[in-house]
Amino acid sequence: MSNPSGPPIPPQRRRLSPDQYVEGVLSRSRGVLGRVITLFESRRPDDRALARLVLDTLVPHSGRSIRLGITGVPGAGKSTLIEALGLRLLAEGHRVAVLAIDPSSRVTGGSILGDKTRMARLSVEDDAFIRPSPTGTALGGVAGHTREAMLACEAAGYDVVIVETVGVGQSETAVADMVDTFLAVLIAGAGDELQGIKRGLVEMIDVLAINKADGENRPQVDRAVSQYRNAIRLMHPPESPWIPPVLPCSAREGTGLGEIWAQVLAHRAAMERAGLLAERRRSQAVRWMWDLVEEQVRRMLRDAPGTGDLAARLESEVRGGRISASSAADRIASALGLTAPPGAGPDGPGPP
């Protein structure tokens, strides 16, 4: 049927069966893998039911990759470093997936989705898969279904999965909670070097790279490396199973990347020797479960008849000081059928 007001409307792609999605992923089809991740990101109830079925079937085929999270300040060269590191890993025989968390506008909901452009060389490689995902309204700037996408990439045979975060707010914590090794990329020459990194981030990272160690900037990088090493030693006792190394690198020139990857592998080996890697992944899976429970409660609040309007009215009353936040929360929970038993507090029933 023609469209008189514009170009012809392309036909909607046929939805695959659960078996076709699974078989496509396991046969390493990048096209099907992309469609599976799109399915995971869908908010339609029928898509969510299909996504759960597909994911449950893929889970036994996942878990065999090195999961690397990368964060950093704006302008630190994260994407350049990821592309250079990814190309190096491909040359060593790895298959690399990059899940690049893309910042969404809180006003319009739009996102840049430009990671394939920023990693143009890596994106055309047969053994690489790059998937930018909008953050949407997910807590901490991390796409709500990044964990699901990571499992699908592992099932598709990618043995290195890199998660790049926007590096703002609570996104570092969210990414650290889904990877094995957490790498921060910083730059020198921004004044007091120790002001460029938050204490909480220092406590989370496993490897710290100071990028742009080239040309006239090299002396500043060396000073920054020394300062960060001293700071990290003060925050990590000598008996710690792992003290994060601080490494200079130049993503533009390709220097220092081998050392960074060697430390990623060394961290993984140290975690395995201490029996911490498997426990870390088990704990992450449990936290993921509770994150999804909270997400479903928020969806119930948004979709249940009448509760959205009630929440809006109560929010206005809380803003105006006409009702306490705790009373408003109780009324919303009651509307959802989640009323706590008499005498129960935030940690369970109170004393008799």
Is there a single domain that holds both residue 57 and residue 72? no
325 assigned to some structural domain: yes
The token pair that represents 160 in the structure block: 């290195």
7 assigned to some structural domain: no
352 assigned to some structural domain: no
Is there a single domain that holds both residue 209 and residue 321? no
Number of domains forming the structure of the chain? 3
Contact status, residue 242 vs residue 267, Cβ threshold 8 Å? yes
What pLDDT tens digit does each residue of the chain (352 aa) get?
Answer: 444 454 443 445 678 999 999 999 999 999 999 999 999 988 888 998 999 999 999 999 999 999 999 988 788 899 999 999 999 999 999 999 999 876 553 333 434 444 556 788 999 999 999 998 765 545 443 556 889 999 999 999 999 999 998 655 567 788 888 999 999 999 886 544 454 456 667 778 999 999 999 999 999 999 999 988 988 888 887 888 899 999 999 999 999 999 999 999 999 999 999 999 999 999 998 988 888 888 777 777 777 777 778 888 999 999 999 999 999 988 888 887 776 555 544 444 444 4
Is there a single domain that holds both residue 214 and residue 167? yes
Question: Which residue segment(s) compose the domain that 227 sits in?
Answer: 63-274
Is there a single domain that holds both residue 104 and residue 141? yes
Q: Which residues pair with 69 in a beta bridge?
A: 163, 182
Q: Which residues pair with 163 in a beta bridge?
A: 69, 99
Strand, helix or coil for residue 322: coil
Is there a single domain that holds both residue 246 and residue 326? no
Angle between helices 325-335 and 307-319 (to 10 degrees): 180
Is there a single domain that holds both residue 38 and residue 182? no
